[in-house]
């Protein structure tokens, strides 16, 4: 919708310029042959200003999009601007140190119009040729335009500007080449309009300027009606190109705004997708961590079970190799000391009559600590109401921290520097095994499970 509105606005603006040119030309021609020196000054000044503005716009466009064609066209319009500026320069009433400009009026005013009429068409054709072949750099092209301008001034300075009416009543035959150049330019630009958007406006400008230069062929004085129609054609043609370039600039800005808005929307959508994907990855990572913990726990349990089975196998094999009961007990206690983090281990028998435990066997590594704790073999231990009583009743007793216990047996162990305790009921003669460690919770957790298996 915006593109259609932009095209309609461009068509209306261009149509308005063309209608104004047509009405102005008809009005001037209908009024008869007259001189319009003031209008001549206004139109010359307008042509010069618009040409300079077009040169700047084309150069800026070429610099922004890095297009050699636009820069070459800017150089062509710049050379035309210089000639048209010289044509306008002599209009001002100079005085003082610049009074010499007034002396050049008779030379500059008639000598600069014909070169300006030819050089723009020559520059456009040369820009198209060099841009399509990319053989000429910008400095060389600028030098070429400067040489052409000097040659045109030198040539038209030697040719008479006006002649009596001749073939087709033409009074300025020296300008006959200008309409031909603009006709070629117009046709070439129209054929190339699909390759670059600047060629369409250039073709339309060339058509309008062509009509003006045709009228100039019948001019008989610098300020007469035909000359003013030619000047109106140059103004209208340049306005058509200027309006088209302004439309292209606004279209580029609109497209850029649309692209930026679309990019912003895409960035927002991308951020949303990234957040969603991040949340999915976080959830997957959490589930994976949970699965890893479950598997690790299962693996630890499996390893612990395997360790218990291995310990039972070792104990069973060692027991099978011995005949007396004391040797069997010693094998059991030593296996606990070797395979588990146990600092003190012993086997006790329960005397149901006296309700005491008798230390039947103390591990080899636990001998010194047993003497320190007053728990050598054959010593008797009273059954308290905490761990020992529960162990005698068949429960597995696990105390990860006995330093805070107030019962006699845990207190005795704590005085020896022990921190944790495991008591397991044994089926052999209603006894129990006692294991203790200085490592606390971490050192006796596995001992509790293995002691339970060994007790069974």
Could you read off the pLDDT tens digit of each residue along the chain, which spans 456 residues? 444 444 555 577 778 888 888 888 888 888 877 888 888 888 989 999 999 999 999 998 888 888 888 899 999 999 999 998 888 877 766 666 666 666 666 666 666 778 988 999 999 999 998 887 776 688 889 999 999 999 998 888 888 877 888 778 888 888 899 999 999 999 999 999 888 888 989 999 999 999 999 988 888 887 888 888 999 999 999 999 998 888 888 888 888 888 888 999 999 999 999 999 999 999 999 999 999 999 988 888 888 777 767 766 766 666 666 556 777 777 778 877 777 778 898 888 888 888 888 888 888 888 888 888 888 888 988 887 667 888 888 888 888 888 888 888 888 888 888 888 888 887 655 577 788 887 765 544 455 545 444 444
Cβ–Cβ under 8 Å, residues 435 and 336: yes
Under DSSP, is residue 416 helix (H, G, I), strand (E, B) or coil? coil
> Residue 189: left if φ>0, alpha if ψ -120 to 50, beta else—which one?
alpha
For position 306, what pLDDT does the model report? 79
Tokens of 110: 């008639």
For position 7, what pLDDT does the model report? 52
Q: How far is CA 393 from CA 145, 224, 424, in A?
A: 117, 135, 10
DSSP single-letter state for residue 174: G
pTM of the model: 0.58
Q: Where are the beta strands (DSSP E) in 372-455?
A: 380-382, 397-399, 420-425, 431-437
User: How big is the CA angle at 73 (ends 72 and 74), to the nearest 5 degrees?
Assistant: 90
Q: In what order do the strands lie in the sheet with 431-437?
A: 380-382, 356-362, 344-351, 431-437, 420-425, 397-399
Torsion 246-248-250-256 (CA) sign: negative
> Residue 160: left if φ>0, alpha if ψ -120 to 50, beta else—which one?
beta
- The span from the CA of 347 to the CA of 108, in Å, is 131
For position 179, what pLDDT does the model report? 93
| Domains, the chain, ordered by start | 2-250 (1.20.1070), 325-455 (3.30.450.40)
For position 456, what pLDDT does the model report? 46
Number of H helices, E strands in the chain: 14, 6
The answer for residues whose C-beta is within 8 angstroms of residue 40's C-beta and 6 or more apart is 222, 223, 227, 228, 231
Work out the angle between the directed axes of helices 199-216 and 177-191 (0-180°, nearest 10): 160
Cβ–Cβ under 8 Å, residues 223 and 35: yes
Tokens of 429: 């003669």
H or E element in which residue 373 lies: none
The answer for residues whose C-beta is within 8 angstroms of residue 202's C-beta and 6 or more apart is 73, 124, 185, 189, 241
Q: Supply φ then ψ for residue 310, to 5 degrees.
A: -65, -40
CB atoms within 10 A of CB 437: 24
Residues in the chain: 456
Tokens of 345: 């281990």
H or E element in which residue 359 lies: strand 356-362
For position 400, what pLDDT does the model report? 86
Residue with tokens 């606005």: 9
């Amino acid at each position: 919708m915006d593109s259609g509105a932009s095209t309609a606005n461009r068509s209306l603006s261009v149509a308005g310029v063309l209608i104004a040119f047509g009405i102005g030309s008809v009005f001037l021609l209908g009024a008869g042959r007259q001189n319009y020196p003031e209008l001549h000054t206004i139109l010359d000044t307008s042509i010069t200003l618009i040409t300079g503005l077009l040169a700047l716009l084309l150069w800026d466009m070429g610099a922004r999009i890095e297009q050699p064609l636009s820069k070459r066209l800017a150089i062509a319009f710049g050379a035309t601007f210089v000639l048209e500026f010289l044509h306008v320069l002599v209009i001002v009433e100079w005085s003082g140190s610049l009074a010499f400009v007034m002396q050049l009026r008779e030379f500059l005013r008639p000598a600069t119009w014909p070169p300006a009429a030819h050089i723009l068409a020559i520059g456009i054709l040369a820009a198209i040729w060099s841009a399509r072949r990319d053989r000429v750099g910008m400095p060389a092209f600028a030098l070429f335009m400067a040489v052409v301008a000097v040659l045109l001034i030198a040539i038209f300075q030697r040719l008479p500007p006006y002649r009596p009416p001749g073939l087709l009543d033409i009074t300025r035959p020296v300008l006959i080449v200008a309409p031909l150049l603009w006709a070629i330019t117009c046709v070439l630009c129209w054929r190339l309009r699909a390759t670059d958007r600047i060629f369409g406006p250039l073709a339309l400008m060339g058509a309008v300027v062509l009509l003006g230069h045709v009228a100039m062929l019948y001019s008989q004085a610098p300020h007469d009606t035909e000359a003013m129609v030619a000047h109106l054609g140059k103004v209208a043609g340049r306005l058509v190109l200027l309006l088209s370039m302004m439309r292209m600039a606004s279209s580029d800005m609109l497209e850029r705004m649309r692209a930026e808005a679309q990019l912003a929307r895409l960035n927002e959508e991308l951020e949303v997708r990234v957040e969603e994907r991040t949340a999915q990855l976080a959830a997957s990572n959490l589930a994976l961590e949970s699965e890893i913990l479950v598997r690790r726990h299962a693996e630890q349990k499996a390893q612990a079970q395997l360790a218990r089975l291995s310990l039972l196998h070792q104990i069973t094999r060692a027991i099978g190799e011995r005949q007396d009961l004391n040797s069997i007990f010693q094998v059991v206690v030593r296996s606990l000391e070797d395979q588990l983090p146990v600092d003190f281990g012993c086997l006790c028998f329960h005397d149901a009559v006296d309700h005491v435990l008798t230390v039947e066997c103390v591990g080899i590594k636990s001998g010194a600590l047993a003497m320190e704790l007053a728990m050598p073999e054959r010593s008797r231990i009273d059954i308290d109401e905490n761990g020992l009583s529960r162990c005698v009743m068949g429960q597995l007793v696990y105390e990860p921290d006995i330093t805070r216990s107030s019962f006699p047996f845990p207190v005795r162990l704590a005085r020896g520097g022990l921190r944790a305790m495991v008591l397991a009921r044994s089926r052999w003669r209603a006894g129990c095994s006692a294991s203790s460690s200085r490592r606390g919770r971490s050192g006796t957790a596995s001992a509790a499970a293995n002691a339970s298996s060994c007790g069974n």
